[in-house]
Chain A
Amino acid sequence: AQSVTQLGSHVSVSEGALVLLRCNYSSSVPPYLFWYVQYPNQGLQLLLKYTSAATLVKGINGFEAEFKKSETSFHLTKPSAHMSDAAEYFCAVSFSGGYNKLIFGAGTRLAVHP
Protein backbone atom coordinates (compact mmCIF):
# COMPACT_ATOMS: atom_id res chain seq x y z
CA ALA A 1 0.00 0.00 0.00
CA GLN A 2 1.14 3.50 -0.76
CA SER A 3 1.92 5.78 2.18
CA VAL A 4 3.65 8.99 3.13
CA THR A 5 5.72 9.60 6.24
CA GLN A 6 6.73 13.04 7.43
CA LEU A 7 9.51 12.92 9.98
CA GLY A 8 8.94 15.40 12.78
CA SER A 9 5.52 16.79 13.59
CA HIS A 10 7.12 20.05 14.75
CA VAL A 11 10.22 21.80 13.44
CA SER A 12 11.59 25.04 14.87
CA VAL A 13 14.21 27.21 13.16
CA SER A 14 15.61 30.68 13.60
CA GLU A 15 14.90 33.38 11.06
CA GLY A 16 17.54 33.15 8.33
CA ALA A 17 18.35 29.50 9.03
CA LEU A 18 17.95 26.58 6.65
CA VAL A 19 14.54 24.93 6.56
CA LEU A 20 14.48 21.16 6.00
CA LEU A 21 11.21 19.26 6.19
CA ARG A 22 11.44 15.54 5.56
CA CYS A 23 9.09 13.35 3.53
CA ASN A 24 9.44 9.68 2.61
CA TYR A 25 6.99 7.65 0.61
CA SER A 26 6.38 4.01 -0.11
CA SER A 27 5.25 3.00 -3.55
CA SER A 28 5.61 0.20 -6.04
CA VAL A 29 4.99 2.47 -9.01
CA PRO A 30 6.36 5.90 -9.98
CA PRO A 31 4.61 8.49 -7.86
CA TYR A 32 3.55 12.06 -8.24
CA LEU A 33 4.70 14.04 -5.20
CA PHE A 34 3.46 17.29 -3.75
CA TRP A 35 4.08 19.74 -0.95
CA TYR A 36 1.17 21.80 0.29
CA VAL A 37 1.26 24.63 2.87
CA GLN A 38 -1.52 25.58 5.26
CA TYR A 39 -1.51 28.95 6.98
CA PRO A 40 -3.66 29.37 10.12
CA ASN A 41 -7.40 29.17 9.48
CA GLN A 42 -6.93 28.66 5.76
CA GLY A 43 -7.14 25.84 3.28
CA LEU A 44 -4.10 24.19 1.76
CA GLN A 45 -2.27 25.68 -1.19
CA LEU A 46 0.19 23.99 -3.52
CA LEU A 47 3.87 24.81 -2.93
CA LEU A 48 5.38 22.55 -5.56
CA LYS A 49 4.95 19.24 -7.34
CA TYR A 50 7.01 16.48 -8.93
CA THR A 51 5.42 14.68 -11.87
CA SER A 52 8.35 12.75 -13.41
CA ALA A 53 10.13 15.66 -15.06
CA ALA A 54 13.16 17.33 -13.39
CA THR A 55 14.04 15.77 -10.03
CA LEU A 56 14.80 19.15 -8.46
CA VAL A 57 11.58 21.10 -8.27
CA LYS A 58 11.29 24.78 -7.44
CA GLY A 59 8.14 26.14 -5.88
CA ILE A 60 6.73 29.36 -4.58
CA ASN A 61 8.22 31.50 -1.80
CA GLY A 62 11.77 30.18 -2.36
CA PHE A 63 11.03 26.55 -1.49
CA GLU A 64 12.38 23.61 -3.44
CA ALA A 65 12.34 19.84 -3.15
CA GLU A 66 14.38 17.03 -4.65
CA PHE A 67 12.97 13.68 -5.67
CA LYS A 68 15.40 10.89 -4.77
CA LYS A 69 14.13 7.57 -6.01
CA SER A 70 16.90 5.54 -4.33
CA GLU A 71 15.93 7.01 -0.96
CA THR A 72 12.18 7.23 -1.68
CA SER A 73 12.34 10.78 -0.39
CA PHE A 74 11.02 14.21 -1.37
CA HIS A 75 12.40 16.58 1.27
CA LEU A 76 11.43 20.25 1.24
CA THR A 77 14.10 22.91 1.74
CA LYS A 78 14.50 26.66 1.86
CA PRO A 79 17.92 28.27 2.33
CA SER A 80 16.81 31.08 4.61
CA ALA A 81 13.66 30.98 6.76
CA HIS A 82 11.39 33.98 7.05
CA MET A 83 8.88 34.67 9.79
CA SER A 84 6.10 34.39 7.21
CA ASP A 85 7.07 30.75 6.54
CA ALA A 86 5.52 29.68 9.85
CA ALA A 87 2.75 27.30 8.83
CA GLU A 88 1.90 23.62 8.55
CA TYR A 89 3.36 21.72 5.63
CA PHE A 90 1.94 18.56 4.11
CA CYS A 91 3.63 16.11 1.80
CA ALA A 92 1.33 14.13 -0.47
CA VAL A 93 1.64 11.35 -3.04
CA SER A 94 -0.58 10.18 -5.86
CA PHE A 95 -0.34 7.72 -8.71
CA SER A 96 -1.26 7.96 -12.35
CA GLY A 97 -4.31 6.12 -13.54
CA GLY A 98 -7.92 7.21 -13.58
CA TYR A 99 -8.70 9.58 -10.75
CA ASN A 100 -5.48 10.28 -8.89
CA LYS A 101 -6.30 10.17 -5.20
CA LEU A 102 -3.87 12.09 -3.04
CA ILE A 103 -2.50 10.46 0.11
CA PHE A 104 -1.35 13.05 2.61
CA GLY A 105 1.25 12.81 5.32
CA ALA A 106 0.42 13.83 8.88
CA GLY A 107 1.95 17.26 8.47
CA THR A 108 4.88 19.19 9.95
CA ARG A 109 4.31 22.43 11.81
CA LEU A 110 7.12 24.89 11.16
CA ALA A 111 7.87 27.58 13.75
CA VAL A 112 10.26 30.42 12.91
CA HIS A 113 11.87 32.35 15.75
CA PRO A 114 13.46 35.81 15.53
Chain B
Amino acid sequence: NAGVTQTPKFQVLKTGQSMTLQCAQDMNHEYMSWYRQDPGMGLRLIHYSVGAGITDQGEVPNGYNVSRSTTEDFPLRLLSAAPSQTSVYFCASSYDATNEKLFFGSGTQLSVL
Protein backbone atom coordinates (compact mmCIF):
# COMPACT_ATOMS: atom_id res chain seq x y z
CA ASN B 1 0.00 0.00 0.00
CA ALA B 2 1.60 3.25 -1.16
CA GLY B 3 -0.78 5.59 0.72
CA VAL B 4 0.31 9.23 0.31
CA THR B 5 3.48 9.73 -1.73
CA GLN B 6 5.43 12.98 -1.74
CA THR B 7 8.32 13.93 -4.00
CA PRO B 8 11.00 15.10 -3.71
CA LYS B 9 12.12 14.29 -0.15
CA PHE B 10 14.70 17.09 -0.11
CA GLN B 11 15.07 20.26 -2.17
CA VAL B 12 17.32 23.31 -2.05
CA LEU B 13 16.22 26.43 -3.94
CA LYS B 14 17.61 29.88 -4.46
CA THR B 15 15.46 32.89 -3.65
CA GLY B 16 13.15 33.63 -6.56
CA GLN B 17 13.17 30.14 -8.06
CA SER B 18 9.96 28.25 -8.61
CA MET B 19 9.18 24.62 -8.02
CA THR B 20 6.35 22.17 -7.54
CA LEU B 21 6.04 19.72 -4.67
CA GLN B 22 4.24 16.61 -5.80
CA CYS B 23 1.65 14.69 -3.80
CA ALA B 24 -0.26 11.61 -4.89
CA GLN B 25 -2.58 9.25 -3.02
CA ASP B 26 -3.95 5.89 -4.09
CA MET B 27 -6.78 5.58 -1.56
CA ASN B 28 -9.41 7.38 -3.65
CA HIS B 29 -9.72 10.08 -0.99
CA GLU B 30 -11.65 13.16 -1.99
CA TYR B 31 -10.04 15.41 0.63
CA MET B 32 -6.41 16.47 0.43
CA SER B 33 -4.38 19.14 2.16
CA TRP B 34 -0.94 20.69 2.45
CA TYR B 35 0.73 21.64 5.73
CA ARG B 36 4.02 23.22 6.62
CA GLN B 37 5.85 22.28 9.80
CA ASP B 38 8.12 24.77 11.51
CA PRO B 39 9.96 24.33 14.83
CA GLY B 40 7.82 25.37 17.79
CA MET B 41 4.78 26.02 15.62
CA GLY B 42 3.34 22.61 14.89
CA LEU B 43 1.65 22.12 11.53
CA ARG B 44 -0.16 24.91 9.73
CA LEU B 45 -2.63 24.41 6.90
CA ILE B 46 -1.60 25.98 3.59
CA HIS B 47 -4.30 24.89 1.12
CA TYR B 48 -6.83 22.13 0.93
CA SER B 49 -9.10 20.47 -1.59
CA VAL B 50 -12.50 18.82 -1.15
CA GLY B 51 -12.46 17.16 -4.55
CA ALA B 52 -11.18 17.42 -8.10
CA GLY B 53 -11.44 21.00 -9.31
CA ILE B 54 -12.13 22.45 -5.85
CA THR B 55 -9.48 24.08 -3.68
CA ASP B 56 -9.47 26.61 -0.86
CA GLN B 57 -7.04 28.52 1.32
CA GLY B 58 -5.90 27.46 4.73
CA GLU B 59 -4.14 29.41 7.45
CA VAL B 60 -0.95 30.36 5.58
CA PRO B 61 -1.68 30.39 1.80
CA ASN B 62 0.46 33.34 0.69
CA GLY B 63 3.22 32.41 -1.74
CA TYR B 64 1.68 29.05 -2.64
CA ASN B 65 -0.65 27.87 -5.40
CA VAL B 66 -2.48 24.58 -5.75
CA SER B 67 -4.69 22.84 -8.27
CA ARG B 68 -6.59 19.56 -8.24
CA SER B 69 -7.15 18.19 -11.72
CA THR B 70 -7.51 14.57 -10.58
CA THR B 71 -8.60 12.83 -7.38
CA GLU B 72 -5.14 11.32 -6.97
CA ASP B 73 -2.86 14.35 -7.32
CA PHE B 74 -2.57 17.60 -5.40
CA PRO B 75 0.62 19.51 -6.30
CA LEU B 76 1.84 22.55 -4.36
CA ARG B 77 3.56 25.29 -6.34
CA LEU B 78 5.97 27.90 -5.07
CA LEU B 79 6.03 30.63 -7.70
CA SER B 80 8.93 32.67 -6.32
CA ALA B 81 10.62 31.00 -3.38
CA ALA B 82 11.57 33.07 -0.32
CA PRO B 83 13.75 32.13 2.68
CA SER B 84 10.60 32.30 4.86
CA GLN B 85 9.34 29.26 2.96
CA THR B 86 12.15 27.10 4.31
CA SER B 87 10.19 24.39 6.09
CA VAL B 88 9.08 20.78 6.02
CA TYR B 89 5.99 20.26 3.91
CA PHE B 90 3.46 17.51 4.44
CA CYS B 91 0.65 16.42 2.20
CA ALA B 92 -2.31 14.63 3.77
CA SER B 93 -5.51 13.00 2.61
CA SER B 94 -8.71 11.87 4.28
CA TYR B 95 -11.81 9.97 3.28
CA ASP B 96 -14.34 12.52 4.51
CA ALA B 97 -14.72 16.14 5.49
CA THR B 98 -14.59 15.42 9.21
CA ASN B 99 -10.86 14.68 8.84
CA GLU B 100 -11.23 12.19 11.70
CA LYS B 101 -8.21 10.42 10.32
CA LEU B 102 -5.60 12.13 8.20
CA PHE B 103 -3.10 10.06 6.22
CA PHE B 104 0.20 11.88 5.88
CA GLY B 105 3.02 11.59 3.39
CA SER B 106 6.60 11.37 4.62
CA GLY B 107 7.33 15.04 3.93
CA THR B 108 9.50 17.28 1.76
CA GLN B 109 12.30 19.20 3.44
CA LEU B 110 12.74 22.48 1.56
CA SER B 111 15.55 24.98 2.04
CA VAL B 112 15.47 28.38 0.33
CA LEU B 113 18.79 30.19 0.30
Number of B interface residues, CB 8 Å?
A: 26
Contact of A41 among B41, B99, B100, B106 (CB under 8 A): B106
CB distance from A46 to the nearest CB of B (A): 5
**CB 8 Å contact bits of B84-106 with A (1 = contact, 0 = none):** 00000010100001111110111
Closest residue on chain B to residue A101 by CB atoms? B45
Interface residues of A in 1-20 (CB under 8 A from B): 4, 9
Number of A interface residues, CB 8 Å?
A: 24
Inside 8 A of A36's CB, which chain B residues have their CB?
A: 102
Given A99-B48, A99-B50, A99-B97, also A106-B41 (CB < 8 A) = yes
Contact of A104 among B31, B43, B100 (CB under 8 A): B43
Q: Is A100 an interface residue (CB 8 A)?
A: yes
What are 18 A-B pairs at a CB distance below 8 A? A4-B42, A9-B40, A32-B98, A43-B4, A43-B90, A43-B106, A44-B90, A45-B104, A46-B101, A49-B100, A96-B98, A99-B97, A99-B99, A100-B98, A101-B59, A102-B45, A102-B99, A106-B42
- Please report B residues at the A interface, Cβ cutoff 8 Å: 4, 31, 35, 40-45, 48, 50, 56, 58-59, 90, 92, 97-102, 104-107
- Please report A residues at the B interface, Cβ cutoff 8 Å: 4, 9, 32, 36, 41-46, 49, 51, 90, 94, 96, 98-102, 104-107
